[in-house]
Amino acid sequence: MPSVPNPIRALIVGIGLLLSRAGLVDRERAVRIADLSWPRIITGLARMSKNAVDVAMVGIVLGPVAITGVGFAGPFWGLAFAIGGGVAGGTIALVSQRYGAEAYEQLGTAVRSSGLLVVLATVPITAIFWSFPVELLSVLTNDQQAIEFGAAYLRIVGFGVPFAGLNLVGSRVLVGTDDAYTAMVLRATGALLNIAMNAVFIFGVGLGVEGAALGTVLSNAIVTGGFILGLSRGSLPGVGEFPVQIDFFGSYVDLRTLRDLVEIGLPVMGRGLVWTVAEFPMLAILAIFGTDVVAAFVITRRIWGLMNTPGWGFGLASSSLVGQALGDNDEETAEAYGNEIIRFAVATYLVSAVLVALFANQIVALFVENSGGRVVPTAVTLVYVACVAVILQGVSGGSAGPLDASGDTRWTFGSQFFGMFCGSIPLAYLGATTSLGLAGLYLAFLAETTIPAALNYYRFRTGTWKKVSRSYRPGAAADD
């Protein structure tokens, strides 16, 4: 791990040490959690900043209606992360347990099988986005101008779907083998390249939303090349050594590994799809409020993405550290890591929420000018609500980490489903169709995190996940 200081690492380590002094986490584990979390948090900040800059650039050039169009295309692009993230959820569970048990041959099989599944699952999505973008966007809105912008974006960005999925798998391989730093370097560099390319394509070449999509595709392709080259060589020029080396000419079809990836990954994929699929009815409901409210929601979601980046780090740190302890058959340490990461995550989210709340007006103003409509005031209020909701996200994501590491992923899928479809969406609909108004949208934001937080934490406290993990450990694979 490089010794060069940076403010994100200093902040995360500082929070961990304060919690240690308060007796809430073990000092040694706090440092290890922080060292594995901060690179992933920086990756999240870079990628979410890229998403926010995309919207800001498009908004500056083309106005709120273009923001709305890109926002309507967003859930479709989110399919890449739901599907890729599902396979990657199985990847990190298998890789971390095999790394902890030093079963390196099985580790390589898990990586190759994961890559195969991602490609098979995402290439058809690319074809659909290219062939039917207008029809897909028309499901959400009848605003022809928004459809035109969204379809132009979706047709091109679809080519990036397989690359985005492979990048998630590559990242989880490294995090699962205790190297979040290298994953950060590759993916954060890709995000910065994406921002630079977008600036050239949008402002320099004048490609508008197509330029934003093209920058996303090219940057994801470059990062995928970096992961493949680095994992195959065991190192990457300019980046350094990788913790593992994968033979990509080995077998890609191992039935036991594929079965485990599907069993673990499908609920993770379902959890991602719940959020992604829920965006479709949510955006349709928001359309009832009008274009200004849709634009405000899209802006708030980009800000929410930035606030939620600590969860990227703590969730994967939990999956890796808990998974390694389980692979070593040390359930007591696994539970200790789980408890302490939940506390660590909540404390960090609290800091993030306070900072964003203090500067909510200034942050929203970066996306769109206050031209007298409802965009700015609605977005600012939504940001305040998001600052409360994101603290509960610390509980939800922190509790989900041990469940994911153990393979107990069906529960986290169910909690996300109930939160979105039994809480968030009904409340938003009531707001759009009754006198509840925008208050329903604010309550929807809170329900989205409150319900999964309660359910995931309950499941973690029962300890059932430790029993579930026993069927996925390397010994179980060998005995099967």
**Chain centre to alpha carbon of residue 176:** 16
Q: What is the pLDDT of residue 47?
A: 67
Q: What is the pLDDT of residue 372?
A: 53
Map out the domains of the chain as residue ranges.
7-469
Q: Which pLDDT band, with edges at 50, 70 and 90, does 410 fall under?
A: confident
Q: What is the pLDDT of residue 371?
A: 54
In eight-state DSSP terms, residue 246 is -
List Cβ neighbours of 312 (8 Å cut-off, separation of 6 or more).
Answer: 40, 41, 43, 44
* Residue labelled with tokens 């409360």: 388
- What count of other Cβ atoms lies within 10 Å of the Cβ of residue 442? 21
CA-based nearest residue to 411, from 471, 342, 457: 457
Would you say residue 365 has pLDDT above 50?
Answer: yes
List Cβ neighbours of 361 (8 Å cut-off, separation of 6 or more).
Answer: 380
The structure tokens listed for 429 are 């609909």
Decide: 96 and 316 in contact? Cβ < 8 Å.
Answer: no
Q: Mean of the per-residue pLDDT values for the chain?
A: 82
In angstroms and rounded to an integer, the radius of gyration of the C-alpha atoms of the chain is 21
Would you say residue 4 has pLDDT above 50?
Answer: no
Distances (CA, A) of 442 to 32, 61, 324: 37, 29, 39
Burial class (CB in 10 A: 0-12, 13-18, 19+), 2: exposed
Distances (CA, A) of 160 to 60, 79, 119, 224: 24, 11, 12, 10
**Chain centre to alpha carbon of residue 30:** 23
Q: Which of these ranges, 121-130, 341-350, 365-374, 452-461, has the smallest mean pLDDT? A: 365-374
Rounded average pLDDT over 330-357:
89
The structure tokens listed for 93 are 């569970």
Distances (CA, A) of 380 to 304, 305, 384: 12, 15, 6
Q: What is the pLDDT of residues 86-133, one digit of tens each?
A: 777 777 777 777 777 666 677 778 888 888 888 888 899 899 999 998
Q: What is the pLDDT of residues 60-71, one digit of tens each?
A: 777 677 777 777
Residues, the chain: 480
> Going by DSSP bridges, is the β-strand pair 240-241/235-236 parallel, antiparallel, or unpaired?
antiparallel
Q: What is the pLDDT of residue 423?
A: 92
Q: What is the pLDDT of residue 397?
A: 86
Query: How much of the chain, in percent, has pLDDT values that exceed 70?
Result: 91
Q: How far apart are CA 309 and CA 317, in angstroms?
A: 13
Q: What is the pLDDT of residues 312-330, one digit of tens each?
A: 788 778 877 887 788 778 8
List Cβ neighbours of 305 (8 Å cut-off, separation of 6 or more).
Answer: 48, 51, 52
Q: How far apart are the first and last CA of the chain?
A: 37
